[in-house]
C-alpha cells in the first residue's frame, strides 16, 4: 500500500515541478491518493467547483420542494466514543480531538443535484460515491507563499449577538487557539517566517435550514526552498489536516480510530487544484456518501476537556444540512 501512495506523491511532485495543471484527492489516512491531469478530469466523472477552477456548467433550476430527513444516532451511542475521547484527554494523551459520526439521511435530491445547487467555496461530486460542499480551505500556495485558514467554532446565526457570543465562548475560543497553534506548527515544517495574519475572523455560512457563523484565522509562511514546487511532498508532510484531527497528531489519530469505529474514507481528506503555478486546496467536510442505496452524512466537531456531551451531540447534528436556498 505504502509504495503505491509514495508513487502518487512523487507523481504530484513531478507534475508541479513541471508546472503541469492537475487535480488531486487524498483520503483521511493518505491511503488513497488520486491524481488527474486537466484532460483526465472529464473521463474520471468528477465534477469540481472551486473558486479557482470549475468543470461544471450551471444546471437549470431545481423545480421541487426539498425533502431532507436525518436519522442521528442516539445520545447514548454518541456518548460511547465521546467518553473514550474525553478519558484520553483527561489522561493527557490529547488536548483536542475531532470526533466525527456517520448519520443516515434521506432526501429526494440526487448527489448530482446537491452538487449543482448547494452553495459553498469548494464542491466536488464523485459519481455514485460522494458529494461534498466544504467551506474550509486547507492550504493555498500563491507565488511561493503558503496560507492556511483554520476554521473552528460555529454558532446558530439567529441567536442574539451570535457573532459576539461565538467570539467570547470559552470552549470555542480554546479550541480555536489550539487549532491555530497546531497549524502554525504544521506550516513550520514546510515554510519559514510563519505568522498569524488574522485571528478569530467571523464569517456567515448560509444553509437551507439555518444560517451559521463560523470562526476562522489566517496563517502564512514562505515555502522552504527544499519544498519549492513539490506539492506532493508538502501534502505528505502536512496530512492529516490538523483541524479535523486534533493534537498531538499521532496519538490523537489512535484515539479517533478507536472512538469512531467507522471508516472516514475520503471524508476529512483533502483535495486540491494546481493550476501550473499556484495551489488551492480544501478539507473535504460537509460530506455525503453513498453506500448501496443508502446515503450517509459524516460530521463532527472538536472535543476538549471543556466539552459538554449534549453540546457536542447538538453540534454534530447541526452540521447535517445542505446549503441550498
In the chain, domain spans: 4-144+228-319, 148-223
Pick the CATH number of 4-144+228-319 from 3.40.50.2300, 3.60.120.10, 2.40.50.320, 3.10.580.10: 3.60.120.10
Distance CA 268, CA 162 (A): 27
pLDDT classification of 1: cutoffs 50, 70, 90: very low
Q: Report percent pLDDT > 70 for the chain.
A: 98
pLDDT classification of 209: cutoffs 50, 70, 90: low
Q: Does position 239 have pLDDT exceeding 50, yes or no?
A: yes
Q: Report percent pLDDT > 90 for the chain.
A: 72
Are 192 and 144 a contacting pair, CB within 8 Å? no
Distance CA 167, CA 214 (A): 10
C-alpha distance from residue 244 to each of 36, 54, 83, 157, 218 (Å): 25, 25, 18, 23, 16
Each residue's pLDDT tens digit, 183-196: 999 999 999 999 99
Distance CA 322, CA 324 (A): 6
pTM for this prediction: 0.92
Each residue's pLDDT tens digit, 48-65: 999 889 998 877 788 889
Distance CA 263, CA 270 (A): 16
Amino acid at each position: 500500500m505504502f509504495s503505491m501512495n509514495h508513487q502518487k506523491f512523487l507523481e504530484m511532485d513531478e507534475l508541479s515541478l513541471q508546472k503541469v495543471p492537475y487535480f488531486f484527492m487524498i483520503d483521511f489516512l493518505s491511503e488513497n491518493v488520486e491524481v488527474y491531469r486537466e484532460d483526465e478530469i472529464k473521463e474520471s466523472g468528477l465534477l469540481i467547483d472551486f473558486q479557482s477552477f470549475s468543470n461544471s456548467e450551471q444546471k437549470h433550476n431545481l423545480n421541487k420542494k426539498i425533502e431532507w430527513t436525518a436519522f442521528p444516532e442516539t445520545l447514548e451511542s454518541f456518548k460511547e466514543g465521546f467518553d473514550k475521547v474525553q478519558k484520553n484527554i483527561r489522561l493527557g494523551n490529547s488536548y483536542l480531538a475531532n470526533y466525527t459520526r456517520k448519520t443516515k439521511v434521506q432526501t429526494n435530491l440526487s448527489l448530482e443535484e446537491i452538487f449543482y445547487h448547494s452553495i459553498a467555496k469548494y464542491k466536488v461530486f464523485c459519481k455514485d460515491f460522494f458529494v461534498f460542499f466544504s467551506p474550509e480551505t486547507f492550504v493555498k500556495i500563491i507565488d511561493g507563499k503558503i496560507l492556511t485558514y483554520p476554521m473552528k467554532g460555529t454558532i446558530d446565526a439567529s441567536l442574539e449577538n451570535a457573532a459576539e457570543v461565538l467570539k467570547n465562548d470559552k470552549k470555542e475560543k480554546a479550541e480555536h487557539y489550539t487549532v491555530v497553534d497546531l497549524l502554525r506548527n504544521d506550516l513550520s515544517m514546510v515554510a519559514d517566517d510563519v505568522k498569524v495574519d488574522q485571528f478569530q475572523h467571523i464569517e456567515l455560512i448560509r444553509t437551507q435550514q439555518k444560517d451559521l457563523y463560523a470562526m476562522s484565522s489566517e496563517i502564512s509562511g514562505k515555502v522552504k526552498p527544499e519544498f519549492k514546487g513539490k506539492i506532493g511532498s508538502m501534502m505528505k508532510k502536512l496530512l492529516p489536516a490538523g483541524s479535523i484531527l486534533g493534537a498531538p497528531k499521532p496519538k490523537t489519530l489512535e484515539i479517533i480510530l478507536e472512538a469512531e469505529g467507522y471508516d472516514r474514507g475520503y471524508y476529512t481528506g483533502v483535495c486540491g487544484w494546481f493550476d501550473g503555478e499556484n495551489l488551492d486546496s480544501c478539507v473535504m467536510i460537509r460530506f455525503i456518501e453513498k453506500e448501496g442505496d443508502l446515503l450517509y452524512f459524516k460530521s463532527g466537531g472538536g472535543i476538549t476537556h471543556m466539552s459538554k456531551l449534549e453540546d457536542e451531540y447538538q453540534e454534530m447534528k447541526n452540521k447535517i444540512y445542505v446549503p441550498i436556498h
